[in-house]
């Protein structure tokens, strides 16, 4: 049985080049943004806006300028599906289209998906969307087809600064902890890991090093499984009946 595999994204060395976005689209033959038009969103240099069925990688740009930040700074992060150990999308899928692979990653099988959108609502990270070409829910597969033949996922292969690191989760965790210790030693004490341990949805197989609160990067501070809301919801439904 292969080891659990995944991504460790060190946002401190991301340069916002979008090479990961391009490589992902090329390898997975995803539709181009807005029919190929280079339209900015109004949110810094972001032209892809979000993760969805057509965008499996999304580079976020966070500009922090103002009186409280002398000189200002940029925060950049290449975002992707988290491939959660406890995956809400997999839990709610009615057709069995969403599976956990031998690498402990989460994949949507388009030929089984009926487009019901249950998984979209269940994902606390908002990474899933309907691909208008296929009419099915789609997201990052962690390049499952490449992994099956021993290749690195396209985004990690293309990243020029090695901000996106791919490998066995246990090795990535060691590298991540060493990197945090290095940054703390340099006085960058706000550096911390997000989703690295089992306290968050059993652990994220795509976890991050951040230098500000998760919400600043558009990440939930405490993501929940959809099942945790079932009991209270059922109770209130019963009372209303």
The encoded tokens of residue 34 equal 């807005």
Residues 204 and 196: beta-carbon distance below 8 Å: yes
What sections of the chain are H helices per DSSP? 19-28, 88-92, 118-122, 144-147, 154-158, 169-185, 230-240
Estimate to the nearest angstrom the gap between the alpha carbon of 51 and the chain centroid: 8
Give the tens place of pLDDT for each residue, 40-92. Answer: 666 666 777 789 999 999 999 998 886 555 668 889 999 999 999 999 999 99
188 in Cβ contact with 180 (< 8 Å): no
Mean pLDDT of 9-21: 96
Predicted confidence at residue 34, as pLDDT, reads 52
Q: What is the pLDDT of residue 41?
A: 60
The mean predicted confidence, pLDDT, of the chain is 89
Q: In this model, does residue 236 exceed pLDDT 60?
A: no
Q: Residues 154-170: pLDDT tens digits?
A: 999 999 999 999 999 99
Summarised one tens digit per residue, pLDDT across range 118-135 is 999 999 999 999 999 899
209-237 mean pLDDT: 77
Q: How many other CB atoms are found less than 10 A from the CB of residue 127?
A: 24
pLDDT score for 1: 74
């Amino acid at each position: 049985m292969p080891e659990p595999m995944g991504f460790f994204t060190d946002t401190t060395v991301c340069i916002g080049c979008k090479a990961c976005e391009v490589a992902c689209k090329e390898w997975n033959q995803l539709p181009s943004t807005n029919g190929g038009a280079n339209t900015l969103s109004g949110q810094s240099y972001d032209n892809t806006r979000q993760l969805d069925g057509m965008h499996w990688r999304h580079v976020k740009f966070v500009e922090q300028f103002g009186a409280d930040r002398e000189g200002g700074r940029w925060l950049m992060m290449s975002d992707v599906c988290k491939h959660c150990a406890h995956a809400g999308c997999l839990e709610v899928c009615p057709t069995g289209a969403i599976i956990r692979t031998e690498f402990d990653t989460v994949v949507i099988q388009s030929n089984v998906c009926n487009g019901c959108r249950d998984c979209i609502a269940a994902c606390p990270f908002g990474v899933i969307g309907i691909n208008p070409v296929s009419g099915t829910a789609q997201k990052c597969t962690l390049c499952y087809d490449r992994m099956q033949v021993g290749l690195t996922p396209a985004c990690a292969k293309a990243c020029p600064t090695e901000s996106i690191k791919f490998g066995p989760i246990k090795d990535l965790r060691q590298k991540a902890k060493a990197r945090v210790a290095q940054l703390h030693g340099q006085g960058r004490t706000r550096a911390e890991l997000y989703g690295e341990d089992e306290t968050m949805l059993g652990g994220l197989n795509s976890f991050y090093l951040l230098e500000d609160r998760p919400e600043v990067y558009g990440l939930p501070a405490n993501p929940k499984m959809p099942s945790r809301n079932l009991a209270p919801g059922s109770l209130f439904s019963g009372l209303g009946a």
